[in-house]
Amino acid sequence: MKAADPPVSVPRAPEGTRPQPATNGNRPPRKAGALLPYLLIAPAFIAIAAVFVWPFIKTVVMSFQDVGRRELWTGDAAPWVGFDQFTNILGDGEFWHVVLRTVVFMAVCVVATMAVGLGLSMLMQRMSTWVRLLLTAALVAAWSMPLLVATSIFRWFADSDYGVLNMVLTKYLGIDAQGHNWFLDPKQGFVVIGAVVVWGAVPFVSVTLYAALTQVPKELEEAASLDGAGTFGVFRFVTWPVIKPVFQMVATLSVLWDFNVFGQIFLMRGNKPEPEYSVLGIYSFEKAFESNSFSQGAAISLITVLLLSGVAVYYLRQLLKIGEVE
């Protein structure tokens, strides 16, 4: 509020044009007013710095050292190794397999999530109210399932002996899948894992896109179809421009989430994923906590952050553009 602002030249955000409060004359500027906001954000700021920023700096430092089990338990200073961790990691063929696997898995999950989400949201616009209420209830239920529970359910689906997936395939679709182990072939295993990821992400995407679709002016769609635009034409030229910012935002978030998929794989493989199931998060975790090479794990994390920073910056720019951070 401006009334309490001191007369010092604090640059104000240009959009901060609140109506001048009537109390302006009554309250002489006080020194305390200048400090108050800083005092208010200080606890949160310090906490965030301690739990996010400091560990992040630590990640950077550690990836130039060699922190192993001994340094962890004795507290001895870890030796500096320069870029050794990075050259080791980048020179390891396994690492590049993991990167490729992560990117492909992310891309497939994002495309599937966005396609299903967009499809469902457009369907929700067109279906009868009672169907939409049913579907919304199912979406909310799926949305609220804890990741651990959702993963357990899908693991139980895909159980080789008693899983419902094999049962349905055998009994209703005539494919003999009895006793089929879905996780023997990582490609099939990733299909099951991707199914949990997509199932868990679709509710957020479709509900958000549905909210965006309700912003599309009905009159414009009417006018376009009267003017002879087909279904696709209406979508392409009327609907899409309106929902595009939201779509991009949700897609960006999906990229960030699906790139960092960890729990679904970790839990699906009984807390000990096989090397064929390593994505970057798992790879870094195993290096740190299984091989006790914390520096290697930290360096892999740092590479992950760098790989994602472009996407994150893009996301932030979008937020700034639509004026969320005003």
Partner 1 sequence: MSTSAPRVLRPDRKKSRIGYNIAGLVAFVLMAFPVYWLIVSSLRPNAEIRSYDQTLWPTSITFDNFSRAVKQPNFATAIESSLIVCGVAVLGGMLLATIAAFAIGRFRFRGRKFFMIVLLVVQLLPPTAMLIPIYIQLNDLGGLNEYWGVIVIYLVSTLPFATWMIRGFVINIPQELEESAMVDGCSRMGAFWRVTFPLLAPGLAAASIFSLITAWNEYLLAYVVLQDNDKYTLNVWLMNFTTSRGIDYGALMAASTLIAIPVVAFFLLVQKYMATGLTSGAVKG
Q: Interface residues for partner 1 in 51-110 (CB under 8 A)? A: 51-56, 58-59, 62, 67, 72, 75
Applying CB under 8 A, does 248 fall inside the site for partner 1?
no
Conformation bin of residue 77: beta by default, left when phi > 0, alpha when psi is -120 to 50 = beta
Residues 51 and 261 sit within 8 Å (Cβ to Cβ):
no
Choice between 167 and 242, CB closer to partner 1: 167
Residues 95 and 80 sit within 8 Å (Cβ to Cβ):
no
Distances (CA, A) of 78 to 82, 124, 254, 293: 12, 57, 37, 12
Position among 28, 162, 227, 232 found at the interface with partner 1 (CB under 8 A)? 162
**215/223 Cα distance (integer angstroms):** 16
Which residue reads 């199931």 in tokens?
277
Applying CB under 8 A, does 302 fall inside the site for partner 1?
yes
Residues 299 and 63 sit within 8 Å (Cβ to Cβ):
yes
Site for partner 1 in 20-39 (CB under 8 A): 21-23, 26-27, 33-34, 36-38
Work out how close the CB of 155 gets to partner 1 at its nearest, in angstroms, rounded to a whole number.
8
Work out how close the CB of 291 gets to partner 1 at its nearest, in angstroms, rounded to a whole number.
12
Residues near 288 by beta carbon (within 8 Å), at least 6 away in sequence = 294, 296, 297, 298
Position among 111, 135, 177, 229 found at the interface with partner 1 (CB under 8 A)? 135
Position among 2, 86, 177, 181 found at the interface with partner 1 (CB under 8 A)? 2
Site for partner 1 in 261-300 (CB under 8 A): 262-263, 266-267, 270-271, 281, 284-285, 288-289, 294, 297-298
C-alpha 250, offset from chain centre: 9
User: Could you tell me how many residues of this chain bind partner 1 (CB under 8 A)?
Assistant: 123
Q: Specify the stretch interacting with partner 1 by CB under 8 A; choose among 101-109, 130-138, 186-194, 234-242.
A: 130-138
Choice between 17 and 91, CB closer to partner 1: 17
Other C-beta atoms closer than 10 Å to the C-beta of 292 total 15
Applying CB under 8 A, does 193 fall inside the site for partner 1?
no
In angstroms, the first-to-last Cα distance of the chain is 15
Q: Specify the stretch interacting with partner 1 by CB under 8 A; choose among 83-91, 184-192, 234-242, 259-267.
A: 259-267
